[in-house]
Amino acid sequence: QKEVEQNSGPLSVPEGAIASLNCTYSDRGSQSFFWYRQYSGKSPELIMFIYSNGDKEDGRFTAQLNKASQYVSLLIRDSQPSDSATYLCAVTTGGGNKLTFGTGTQLKVEL
């Protein structure tokens, strides 16, 4: 079992729709959870982090965490073509602060 699992996609959504990206993790001791956006040929860029169960909203982005189910998700409201990128889920593992990344989900927002 991979430590952090994501559906590789591509996930295609129409412009203006809600995009839902999902991630599961295996380490029950994980404390911190992150979403990074990566455009093709660029390095990952942090967009959200969440530590506690529940929802955390930042503009058009909402991160959701359920530690009991070992599940974290990212919702993007009013999706724009500029949101087209690969979204990486990252989780602290091993009891420390190093991040383990999933393989990423490719999001395509279509006009």
Partner 1 sequence: EAGVAQSPRYKIIEKRQSVAFWCNPISGHATLYWYQQILGQGPKLLIQFQNNGVVDDSQLPKDRFSAERLKGVDSTLKIQPAKLEDSAVYLCASSFGDRNYGYTFGSGTRLTVV
Going residue by residue from 45 to 64, which x/- string records binding to partner 1, judged by CB under 8 A?
xx--x---------------
How many whole angstroms separate alpha carbon 5 and alpha carbon 77? 23
CB of 106 to partner 1, least distance (A): 10
**Which residues, 6+ apart, have CB-to-CB distance to 43 below 8 Å?**
none
* Span near partner 1 by CB under 8 A; candidates 12-20, 37-45, 59-67, 77-85: 37-45
Residue with tokens 């990206």: 21
Residue 34 binds partner 1, judged by CB under 8 A: yes
Q: How many residues does the chain have?
A: 111
**CA dist 85 to 21, 64, 88, 95, 106, Å?**
12, 20, 10, 30, 6
How many whole angstroms separate alpha carbon 54 and alpha carbon 65? 5
| Binding test (CB under 8 A) with partner 1, winner from 21, 99, 107, 109 | 99
**Which residues, 6+ apart, have CB-to-CB distance to 96 below 8 Å?**
none
* Span near partner 1 by CB under 8 A; candidates 9-17, 57-65, 68-76, 85-93: 85-93
CB of 93 to partner 1, least distance (A): 9
Residue 85 binds partner 1, judged by CB under 8 A: no
Q: Which residues bind partner 1 (CB under 8 A)?
A: 4, 32, 34, 42-46, 49, 88, 90, 92, 94, 96-104
